[in-house]
Chains A and B, each alone.
Chain A
Amino acid sequence: MSVETERSSTESSAVSGLDFEDTALTLTLRLPGSTSSSSSSSPDPDRKRASSDADPDHSPLTAAASSDAPPAPKARVVGWPPVRSYRKNALADVVGSSKAKQAAKFVKVAVDGAPYLRKVDLEAYAGYDQLLRALQDKFFSHFTIRKFADDERKLVDAVNGTEYVPTYEDKDGDWMLVGDVPWKMFVETCQRLRLMKSSEAVNLAPRAARLAFLKERGNFALLRFFT
């Protein structure tokens, strides 16, 4: 069923350059992207999704209102339903549902020259890029992340040009450069982080030497990744 648009009295001639009859917009009573009024699985080509963690080819979420079957597992849309992050976190703790926060891993982060420590939850990030971006956000509003040829990462305070090298202390008490080991191993072994001024980081060995050191120390799991 469709209804042709009519020029209502609310559309004045101030609608410059826009002639609704020309564009032949029609009102229809149907779900966008579907031909029936009940649940549909065809994707709507006009929709653009903001979802970052949603399944890329998931269909518009529709309620199977007329059926009694349990709802099909669906991809989560970012920011929907509109529950504040603060409330979501509080819920996760309190309700203790299966969506509750996994065990967090908070480590202290020290920045050379800053008077106090911050904490980050390593479990909240999926990889080094996300972690570095978060460090950037938390500490410096004008940071950029520079990736160098040999895959070393540095944070640069664009305001005064100071370079910082992210380092961490591992379970053995050694200070290592962030990024050498696979992410999961890093999360497991990292005890705390320190953003060291580049000028002080000269004593850190170049990558090849660091990897050799790790191998020697018996991080055999590493061998899988670097052989």
Chain B
Amino acid sequence: MGRGGSRAAPAAAAPPWHALPDEVWEHAFSFLPSASDRGAVAGSCHSWLRAERRSRRRLIVANCYAAAPRDAVERFPAVRAAEVKGKPHFADFGLVPPAWGAAAEPWVAAAADGWPLLEELSFKRMVVTDECLEMIAASFRNFQVLRLVSCEGFSTAGLAAIAAGCRNLRELDLQENEIEDCSIHWLSLFPESFTSLVTLNFSCLEGDVNITVLERLVTRCRNLKTLKLNNAIPLDKLASLVRKAPQIVELGTGRFSADYHPDLFAKLEAACAGCKSLRRLSGAWDAVPEYLPAFYCVCEGLTSLNLSYATVRGPELIKFISRCKNLQLLWVMDLIEDHGLAVVASSCNKLQELRVFPSAPFDAAEQVSLTERGLVDVSASCPMLESVLYFCRRMTNEALITIAKNRPNFTCFRLCIIEPHTPDYITHQPLDAGFSAIVESCKGLRRLSVSGLLTDRVFKSIGAHANRLEMLSIAFAGNSDLGLHYILSGCKSLKKLEIRDCPFGDKPLLANAAKLETMRSLWMSSCSLTLGPCQQLARKMPRLNVEVMNDPRRACPLDSLTDESPVETLYVYRTIAGPRSDTPAYVQIV
């Protein structure tokens, strides 16, 4: 690269590289794949800042309160795809009371004003109203992708607005939302001329859809690759839908339950035989193992299998999975048991992600034989396994040490031993040694959830060794403030920390206040926090929002509380937007 100026050329010299016009940089930056690279580039100098922000096409706002919507839209005027996330992760488990916040409306309104060319919008854990959906349908003439994950606040009326208004819609992806059923035939509102759908996922919708309309829609959308149905679609209709979309790549079957009929079986089998491109399969398969063989012809091609809502158990399930030799992702219930996982271990050598969910999480009496054995087997035989979520009832340090040795390539390790404080069931020791082995061995670990009986010692290991760890979830663990201090003073890459029911106080927070600004957020509930130090933290760190949440049913106003009052829930996050103005009565920003 020329160093500008020093060598005079006979013709006009090329401008020095630092004086190149913005368009050149914008073009160069378009090759940068990740947002963090773009962020680094933007931080180099003013001209790069300008060029980068004007050419940013994809924006992820991982905390909707970290920046004001209008500021984000103004800063990145060329955005075509935006993703915004709202409530903290523990909201999934009911730890965030209703009306907490995370309204999508300000984001939709700002986008409607500043991003008229917006094509994709994705909301996670936010309150999305029908008005939002109507605004989306009305504001973006080239709107193509709507993805709503774990959201609430809208109904089929909003979906109707999307269907009627988004002429170029390619993806409507509704994952695990709470959708009110207004008995509106929203599917009918896709015009007859509408053929652009590539993804249609309404698996979380309770309530009926007009199947004839659905069939016509599926028939005319020749590019449909993902179809995930809800529970209202009966099995014979499933077969006819699949026959109409043989090009399907991802299929979600909804509630798959019917008495066994050879005719129906044959129909299903024939429909599947036509699906040469089917790679991902999911559904709530309900106690009809006799139908599984109808899908045998697609097993070989499957890379992703989600049976985590299926209560199928026994030999049929295992036989089915053993045929899926190319599986990369497997989500199952613990009904698969250890011997099923042993078969997975020997059959599915390409497995990258395994999730095992509890079939009876609240009923200790209903024991399934799923133990540490299953996880050890899979970790031993699946060399590409890097992501695990595992619910079980017992564990040993030895098993964890073995797993750590087998699989140093874990990037995500989430172990949930269902009963809090469960020690190693053989030695009765805490599971410190086991989890320490995991963090010491798995140098690329980005996400970790710990459980069982744990002392401060495990946090010392995590703080010291988990250098790439970005998200850590802790429950019912530790002995003292030291545990939290180890985490906050270590874990160089930590972005999200969520803690519940641990004996951690506020001293480590004050001692490591600066760390909190390097993180996206901190959640602490049912720990040993008091109000005074939280206020102190807020005063010390003006760029953090320190939200204190108490029991919504408690009548006494937060203003009257003393420094020593216990704080039930603390949620701290960095922000450039200052305190939010939409807090409910039970949240105070201190």
Q: Which of B20-28, B236-244, B363-371 contacts A (4 or more CB under 8 A)?
A: B363-371
- The answer to whether A119 and B358 touch (CB under 8 A), given A29-B430, A63-B422, A82-B93, is no
Cβ A18 vs Cβ B359 within 8 A: no
Cβ B428 vs Cβ A18 within 8 A: no
- The answer to whether A16 and B511 touch (CB under 8 A), given A27-B479, A27-B480, A50-B568, is yes
Nearest Cβ on chain B to A194's Cβ, whole angstroms: 16
Contact check: which of B311, B365, B525, B582 meets A95 at CB < 8 Å? Answer: B311
Cβ B456 vs Cβ A27 within 8 A: yes
**Residue A99 is within 8 A (CB to CB) of chain B in the complex:** yes
Closest CB pairs A-B (n = 6): A79-B93, A18-B511, A63-B422, A63-B419, A86-B176, A50-B526
- The answer to whether A50 and B95 touch (CB under 8 A), given A81-B358, A99-B362, is yes
Cβ B365 vs Cβ A70 within 8 A: yes
With a cutoff of 8 Å between Cβ atoms, the chain A residues found around residue B60 in the complex are none
With a cutoff of 8 Å between Cβ atoms, the chain A residues found around residue B514 in the complex are 14
> Taking each of A14, A25, A66, which has the highest tally of chain B beta carbons within 10 Å of its own beta carbon?
A25
Nearest Cβ on chain A to B467's Cβ, whole angstroms: 12
**Residue A78 is within 8 A (CB to CB) of chain B in the complex:** yes
- The answer to whether A141 and B419 touch (CB under 8 A), given A27-B457, A79-B90, A94-B284, is no
Contacts A32-B503, A118-B180 known; list 16 others, CB within 8 Å: A14-B514, A20-B482, A23-B481, A27-B482, A47-B526, A49-B526, A50-B525, A62-B420, A66-B428, A70-B364, A70-B365, A81-B418, A82-B473, A84-B176, A88-B361, A95-B359
A31 vs B419: C-alpha distance when bound (angstroms):
14
Cβ A48 vs Cβ B527 within 8 A: yes
A70 vs B93: C-alpha distance when bound (angstroms):
27
- The answer to whether A90 and B416 touch (CB under 8 A), given A15-B489, A18-B510, A141-B99, is no
Tell me the B487-516 residues at the A interface (CB within 8 Å): 489-490, 500-501, 503, 507-508, 510-512, 514
A134 vs B130: C-alpha distance when bound (angstroms):
18
Total residues of chain A contacting the partner, CB 8 A: 67
With a cutoff of 8 Å between Cβ atoms, the chain B residues found around residue A184 in the complex are none
With a cutoff of 8 Å between Cβ atoms, the chain B residues found around residue A66 in the complex are 428
Can you offer 9 A-B residue contacts whose CB atoms are under 8 A? A25-B481, A31-B421, A49-B526, A63-B422, A71-B365, A80-B500, A80-B501, A86-B176, A98-B363
Cβ A84 vs Cβ B155 within 8 A: no
With a cutoff of 8 Å between Cβ atoms, the chain B residues found around residue A20 in the complex are 482, 485
- The answer to whether A94 and B286 touch (CB under 8 A), given A10-B464, A17-B510, is yes
Cβ A31 vs Cβ B566 within 8 A: no
Nearest Cβ on chain A to B72's Cβ, whole angstroms: 22
- The answer to whether A118 and B155 touch (CB under 8 A), given A15-B511, A50-B568, is yes
Contact check: which of B453, B482, B525, B582 meets A31 at CB < 8 Å? Answer: B453
Interface of A is mostly: loop
Cβ A65 vs Cβ B428 within 8 A: yes
Cβ A116 vs Cβ B528 within 8 A: no
Tell me the A111-169 residues at the B interface (CB within 8 Å): 115-119, 133-134, 136-138, 141
A71 vs B365: C-alpha distance when bound (angstroms):
8
A85 vs B94: C-alpha distance when bound (angstroms):
7
Contact string against B for A residues 28-40, beta-carbon threshold 8 Å, 1 for contact and 0 otherwise: 1101100001100
**Residue B103 is within 8 A (CB to CB) of chain A in the complex:** yes
Cβ A63 vs Cβ B421 within 8 A: yes
Q: Nearest chain-B residue to A74 (Cβ)?
A: B364
**Residue B181 is within 8 A (CB to CB) of chain A in the complex:** yes
Nearest Cβ on chain A to B87's Cβ, whole angstroms: 12
- The answer to whether A87 and B357 touch (CB under 8 A), given A38-B428, A63-B421, is yes
Contact string against B for A residues 50-88, beta-carbon threshold 8 Å, 1 for contact and 0 otherwise: 101000000011110110001100001111111111111
**Residue B157 is within 8 A (CB to CB) of chain A in the complex:** yes
With a cutoff of 8 Å between Cβ atoms, the chain A residues found around residue B418 in the complex are 81
Cβ B360 vs Cβ A10 within 8 A: no
**Residue B320 is within 8 A (CB to CB) of chain A in the complex:** no
Cβ B182 vs Cβ A81 within 8 A: no
Cβ A97 vs Cβ B366 within 8 A: yes
Cβ B421 vs Cβ A60 within 8 A: yes
Cβ B503 vs Cβ A37 within 8 A: no
A103 vs B360: C-alpha distance when bound (angstroms):
20
With a cutoff of 8 Å between Cβ atoms, the chain A residues found around residue B99 in the complex are 136-137, 141
